[in-house]
Amino acid sequence: MNQETIGHFINGRVVADLDRTQDVFNPATGEVARKVALASGATVEQAIAAAEAAFPDWRNTPPLKRARIMFRFKELLEQNQDKVAALITEEHGKVLHDALGEFQRGVEVVEYACGAPEFLKGEHSKNVGPAIDSWSEFQPLGVVAGITPFNFPAMVPMWMYPMAIVCGNTFVLKPSERDPSAPMLIAELFKKAGLPDGVFNVVNGDKEAVDALLSDPRVQAVSFVGSTPIAEYIYQTGSSNGKRVQALGGAKNHAIVMPDADMDNTVSALMGAAYGSCGERCMAISVVVAVGNETADVLVGKLKRELSQLRVGSGNDNSNHMGPLITGAHRDKVLGYVNLGEEEGAELVVDGRGLKVEDYENGFFLGGTLFDHVTPEMKIYQDEIFGPVLCVVRAHNMEEAMDLIDQHEYGNGTCIFTRDGEAARYFSDNIKVGMVGINVPLPVPVAYHSFGGWKRSLFGDLYAYGPDAVRFYTRRKTITQRWPSGGVREKASFTFPSNT
């Protein structure tokens, strides 16, 4: 059977480059859904050249006109949301309602980008000195690139290119080769919205495409979201090649559960945060730190009961809570961590291994898994598992719980469940983590704030989307201007200028 092969979107049209291809799976069935072309270095250079050629005219397009294209893009996205969500579910496996939720959070960044005429205004000061005016402008960088992961094929790319493009840059996106169809469809919608050819380009590929973007001197900046080892490589390689880089890495997000927490609501929140999207979220809660053995016993008992009701199956069935993992290889990796947790001595309260879904026996499924009595030296505690595995650690008090979080190498997200305002305030003020929730398990900032972690969860100085995106995708230029009076010859001054 001949299968569709996804190509690339360069200079407003689809480009094949089929010398190398890779299978794209439907994770629910385990079957190959289509193939994706893996770009050669020459194809990446073609995309960069198209972006470079489009930059001068796009740079000089008034921000209001750029924003109007964004408004039309937003309308087209909303009109096609079901098509995009269906592609996400088919290639990633997440349940349709979750795919729509991801998509909507991405559209909110497009919505924020529509405000470009306001956030690109710059600053102006009259008479900073005698008859001297000064102002600053936010000028675009040029060609910029984004490298994005498989777990949010629509949302994470939209964290990047809408803001970069509305700021006057041109963009080359390298999405995940595991679920490439949604970014390609969205690129077509962007063109339909009136975006000039070459302003937005998509190259599908692997490390060859990534390295081409990192080494090409025409690429001025790179944004990345993915695992910490790759984030560190992207940051070091891109920076050594003179690029501005923001590289968001991995996570091991902890939730502290205090003895006074509303336990039923806490358990409901943890179920969604730990097992939603099969745990394949950089903001997933993967560790619960229960303060006190009584708290832990009650929490584990309630989680065990809820897990017995967890509905796992095809993402096309909206009654399911959780779908499959992205690939068989990733499923096997997560299974390896479950096996390792047993070997390390953690108590396996709920075992998700061996799950079979009727009519989907070949899918990449793993049931929700729960470990108790996990300790910090265990690999299942230290590593980002990126699957439906929740670890419960027991702490004597809040100070011990916070020390665990602060000592971990990752600092992406965290939360606390409590009714105590004093404890919540102390936690949010002192914890060494970039994004904090108070009775909110997934504290992902809205589009008009910015997203990013601390420690080895972020390489670079600026967060993704929101106000930080304006700073990342522009350079500040400050102009100071004076017009001397006509016919008057001024004497040279050898004193450093001041306003005194």
Report, as residue numbers or ranges, the catalytic residues.
Answer: 282
Task: State phi, psi for 112 to the nearest 5 degrees.
Answer: -65, -40
What is the phi-psi region of residue 421: left when phi exceeds 0, alpha when psi lies from -120 to 50, beta otherwise? alpha
Of 435, 474, 442, 446, whose CA–CA distance to 112 is shortest?
446
Cα(390)–Cα(367) distance, rounded to whole angstroms?
11
Report the C-alpha gap between 213 and 47 in whole angstroms: 10
Place of tokens 């004497």: 491
Spatial contact of 363 and 346, defined as CB atoms under 8 Å apart: no
Task: Confirm if 317 and 429 have CB atoms less than 8 A apart.
Answer: no
Place of tokens 């997933």: 284
Q: How far apart are CA 99 and CA 326, in angstroms?
A: 14
- The dihedral through the CA atoms of 62, 67, 72, 77 has a sign that is positive
What torsion do the CA atoms of 198, 82, 209, 246 make, to the nearest 10 degrees? 90
